[in-house]
């Protein structure tokens, strides 16, 4: 599959999401690695932490519908965890 291309706004929010996840959970993700990005999105989409969810929603809000569908199709997120 082709690499997913994120907008500048979604990349910014993904960076903020990674920073908050690292601060709260102690795990770092290399955002230059596609698999690490997908793992971060997957873990944060299922998180019950209110701060993590706030940053996740900001990231999700910036995604184009095509990217949302691609993340669901690749199994990175489940439809019920989206938004």
Which residues constitute the domain of residue 39? 8-81
Number of domains in the chain: 1
> Does residue 64 sit within a domain?
yes
> Does residue 72 sit within a domain?
yes
What's the DSSP call for residue 79?
Answer: G
Q: What is the maximum alpha-carbon separation in the chain?
A: 33
> Does residue 74 sit within a domain?
yes
> Does residue 57 sit within a domain?
yes
The vertex-23 CA angle with 18 and 26, nearest 5°, equals: 90
> Does residue 30 sit within a domain?
yes
- What is the token pair recorded at 75? 């199994």
> Does residue 2 sit within a domain?
no
Instruction: Give the three-class secondary structure for 72.
Output: helix
Give pLDDT tens digits for 9-61: 999 999 999 999 999 999 999 999 999 999 999 999 999 999 999 999 999 99
What's the DSSP call for residue 31?
Answer: T
Q: How far apart are CA 41 and CA 35, in angstroms?
A: 10
pTM: predicted TM-score of the whole model, two decimal places: 0.88
């Amino acid at each position: 599959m082709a690499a997913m291309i994120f907008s500048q706004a979604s990349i910014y929010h993904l960076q903020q999401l990674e920073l908050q996840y690292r601060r709260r959970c102690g795990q770092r993700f290399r955002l230059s690695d596609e698999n690490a990005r997908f793992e971060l999105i997957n873990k944060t989409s299922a998180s019950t932490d209110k701060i993590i969810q706030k940053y996740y929603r900001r990231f999700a809000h910036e995604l184009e519908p095509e990217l949302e569908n691609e993340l669901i199709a690749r199994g990175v997120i489940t439809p019920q965890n989206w938004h």
